[in-house]
Structure 1
Amino acid sequence: MESEPTAELIRAQLRRLRLAAELTQEDFGKQVHFSGSQISAIELGQRPYDRLFLKRADEVLNSDGLLLGLLRIAELHGQPHFLRPWLDAERVAQQLRCYHPTLVPGLLQTEHYARAMIRADDMFSDDEVERRLAVRMDRQAILTRPNNPPILIAVIEEATLRRADESFRGIMTQQIGHLLDCVKRGGVLIHIIPVEASVHVGLDGPLTLARGAEGDWVGYLENQVGGATIDRADEIATLLSRWEGIRSVALPKGQSELLMKEVMESWSTI
């Protein structure tokens, strides 16, 4: 949920943009598929808005994504306190290294895959699932930003790519295709740990590392109830050593791509 000051700012900007466009609430409402009274209620804070509404409003008002951008900022600042230092490090990283023993890293997840993973927690309402999904998708924008995007190196378990029942097969096929597209686009390197490597140091848990412009490293460790940002030199040294242990059992780039294609084809033909 957006904070109240940010919600007020979004409503104020919505009204300012609408008036600048010389649109009545009724005329504007028709263009975004709302009634004039509904627009009035949104501007007065008597009715909530969602991402779809703000996206339509930005398009109609030619606001260059201002309203949706404000919502994204509010959502990022609304993240738990333990996550905020990591988000700051991730946003300015020159290189990212990601490993998870059971999942595709969040920065490489498709929308369908991410939604399924978030929805697996039945404590989340549908609205909360969609909010978390939107934040996750927005974070991926760092990989395609026009100025100095980070290099992402991801290590993924072959078993992760092969874990899918019949209902999940289409999502998994699309997800692997997305991984291959990311590699082809450039800026992303993916290495697969084959199932034969049954025991290695990475099985202790997921880890992510970010290297800043000055060469400094920050780490992030997640768990069932939250996560921790790591910046102490001795702990970073340990994580870098663990990363090298994980990377050492993964296949080279070319072999990893061939294995991903093989797994994707196996899901497509079953």
Structure 2
Amino acid sequence: MATGQMTAAAFLVAELRRARVRRGWSQDELARAVNYSPSMVSAVELGQQPPTGKYLEQFDKALDTGGLYTRMLTDLVSLDRAQPWLRGRGAIVAQAKVLRWFEPLYVPGLFQTEAYARAVFEAGGLLEEEDVERRLNERMEGQRILYDEEPPRLVAVVDEAALRRQVGTRKTMCDQTSHLARTATEHPRVRLHVVPQSAQEHPGLGGPFILATLREGMELAFLATQVGGQELDQPADLGRLQRVWEAILGEALPPQESLELVRKVTESWI
């Protein structure tokens, strides 16, 4: 944290880990006790995924705490203005009512096939096999929000270059672009735009980002980086990214033309 001061959210996460260690449980043992995956327990303790009320309810029950950690969430963390840094991209996406997602480099994670996502994580051999599997599982599980009873409204803008750059095999790319077109066609709350290669220089070339309106009403942005990401909630930052978003949309093709281009790219991978 930039201020060097521990937030209530960070304190809660640290106390969850201490409670597990005091009980003498491994992350796997805690996962079984609370009926969550070990990757979820790990993500919570690393501050990559915020503990939900249901998670803390199960935690309190398993460790017989009398509801201590649930009360910490409702009475302390909810007052913490510095809380958003703890959410992580996965949590922001999962909690969103509206998502505006720009990707100049890859197909957005919510649309990635398993083979494509695996190739992304395995690129360069930088990740250990277990890290690849963990990230892959998280990505595939995260896509379930598109099929929730109340999925977010998602407007995605992808640069054509991301569809033409080979990630994995040619079959991987053919399947991926086909899946992208199918999702954009069949999903009622998804709208897809493609920025064609003929477009001139525009502000979006500075990198990918997500603008999110959370179900609780908060506006957030997420900037992806090589070492994680940066979360923004200040009006000046959000306003600038909104202007960048509008500039990108000005360069992008309308939905129907975008779908036609994606299908054309799919044919090129066959």
Give TM-score scaled by structure 1 length.
0.71
Find the counterpart in structure 2 of residue 244 from structure 1.
246
Find the counterpart in structure 2 of residue 74 from structure 1.
41
Deviations 1:187-228 (A, max 9, x none): 211100000014111001111111123543210001112211
Deviations 1:98-155 (A, max 9, x none): 1121111111111100000010142211111111111111111111112x11011111
Find the counterpart in structure 1 of residue 177 from structure 2.
176
Alpha-carbon separation, structure 1, partners of 2:186 and 2:172: 21
Q: State, as a whole percentage, how many aligned pairs show the same letter.
A: 37
Counterparts of residues 142-221 of structure 1 (less than 5 Å): 142-146=145-149, 148-164=150-166, 168-186=169-187, 187-213=189-215, 215-221=217-223
Tell me how many residue pairs correspond in the alignment: 211
Return the offset for 1:83: 5.8
User: Which amino acid is the alignment partner of residue 9 of structure 1?
Assistant: L
Q: Which runs of 5+ in 1 are unaligned?
A: 14-65
Question: Contact 1:72–1:138 (CA<8 Å) still a contact in 2?
Answer: no
2:237 paired with 1:256 = no
Return the offset for 1:88: 3.4
Return the offset for 1:74: 1.9
Find the counterpart in structure 2 of residue 233 from structure 1.
235
Find the counterpart in structure 2 of residue 41 from structure 1.
none
2:100 paired with 1:133 = no
Alpha-carbon separation, structure 2, partners of 1:125 and 1:86: 21
Counterparts of residues 118-129 of structure 1 (less than 5 Å): 118-129=121-132
Q: Which runs of 5+ in 2 are unaligned?
A: 1-16, 49-84
Find the counterpart in structure 2 of residue 46 from structure 1.
none
After TM superposition, the runs of 4+ consecutive aligned structure 1 residues lying more than 6 A away are none
Deviations 1:150-174 (A, max 9, x none): 0111111111111128x62100110
Q: Which has the larger radius of gyration?
A: 1
Question: Contact 1:75–1:135 (CA<8 Å) still a contact in 2?
Answer: no
* Root-mean-square deviation (Å): 2.3
Alpha-carbon separation, structure 2, partners of 1:126 and 1:6: 19
Return the offset for 1:72: 5.0
Go from structure 1 to structure 2 and tell me whether the alpha carbon gap of 1:194 and 1:160 turns closer, same or farther (over 3 Å shift): same
Go from structure 1 to structure 2 and tell me whether the alpha carbon gap of 1:6 and 1:162 turns closer, same or farther (over 3 Å shift): same
Alpha-carbon separation, structure 1, partners of 2:42 and 2:180: 26
Go from structure 1 to structure 2 and tell me whether the alpha carbon gap of 1:153 and 1:87 turns closer, same or farther (over 3 Å shift): same
